[in-house]
Chains A and B, each alone.
Chain A
């Protein structure tokens, strides 16, 4: 492929400098993150409405969630965000080994989050706590509790899907990192890590809504 073709393929002709292109990529990523936030925002809105309509049952239902496991998952995701941020920091200092190490720790923590979540799901299933019409908890048979757990599964399930998407992205970035020079200009790493931070920020709000409801 000729050089002009390379330029056209990368979209470089639209920008004066590589830095300007990087900033445009960041703006695009933030717009994408905005759409993701609005997706979860709609669910937060639904939660608000039903929580007000079934206040007592939502509080009682949240008590069926294991607060310690929810807190453990919060600590796990916060720590994973720290290591992801440190990976970008290391990239700015051209430390490729440190970048890969931090991304691997982030990946391990992300997998740990999913393992804890699956333990929670298994425990709920064992007690008949399923989403929607399949809900059959004898401990809390009310309709408000059924609504709570339907929302619980939808919100945490959607979040878990985002965690899996983030893990795949970070794994690909970790594999490709050694081939990128200079690492300080490894924009996909910065964008992928931004996505991971958003996943963390969403969980920061899910945790109090679903585990600390009163």
Chain B
């Protein structure tokens, strides 16, 4: 039996949404919005708000990336399986970053001295596994 007669459900649900009459206007609005949001992040940085700057910039980055995904990459009219894949992808990355952040914070709270010396050892290369380390030299 040919593959296309097996009526695979994955292919059946890959129906695309209707093509809007004109996307040009949406693209221009999205472009301007992205430039304005970039200016907003830059402006917040110039105000020297400390760690709030990063929070604002990352929040703005999330909005900007959403605009790129929804408008430029047409995620709004992609079928459900593609939106599911994209959404799950973002969730995995967030989970990874939050998990690592929680781990570092927990270690620092449980044994602040050990965490600090460990971080310093990794940074200086003496732990032998961190970024920025160099392999042991014969003269070391």
Contacts and interface: CB of A to CB of B under 8 A. Distances in A.
Interface string A55-68: 00000000000010
B65 interface: yes
Nearest to A135: B132
B61 A49 contact: no
A38 B125 contact: no
Interface string B101-139: 101110010000001000110111100001111100000
Counting contact residues on chain B (CB < 8 A from A), the size range is 35 or more
A5 to B, nearest CB: 16
A212 B101 contact: no
A95 B103 CA distance: 53
Given A41-B96, A44-B93, A147 B131 contact: yes
A148 B119 CA distance: 13
Query: In terms of DSSP, what is the predominant structure of the interface of chain A?
Result: helix
Interface in A123-154: 131-133, 135, 142-144, 146-147, 150-151, 154
Contacts of A150: 131-132
A147 B123 contact: yes
A13 B4 contact: yes
A95 to B, nearest CB: 11
A121 B105 CA distance: 33
A86 B25 CA distance: 10
Query: In terms of DSSP, what is the predominant structure of the interface of chain B?
Result: helix
A133 B133 contact: yes
Contacts of B88: 34
A142 B125 CA distance: 12
Interface in B69-102: 69, 71-73, 78-79, 81-82, 85-86, 88-90, 92-93, 96-97, 99-101
B38 A78 contact: yes
B94 to A, nearest CB: 9
Interface in A33-62: 33-34, 37-38, 41-42, 44-46, 48-50, 52-54
A98 to B, nearest CB: 11
A27 B73 contact: no
A42 B92 CA distance: 10
Interface stretch (A15-23, A107-115, A157-165, A173-181): A15-23
B72 A81 contact: yes
Interface of A: 13-16, 19-20, 23-24, 26-27, 30-31, 33-34, 37-38, 41-42, 44-46, 48-50, 52-54, 67, 71, 74-75, 78-79, 81-82, 84-86, 89, 92, 131-133, 135, 142-144, 146-147, 150-151, 154, 194, 197-198, 200-201, 204-205, 207-209, 211-214
6 contacts: A15-B4, A27-B81, A41-B93, A82-B28, A205-B58, A208-B41
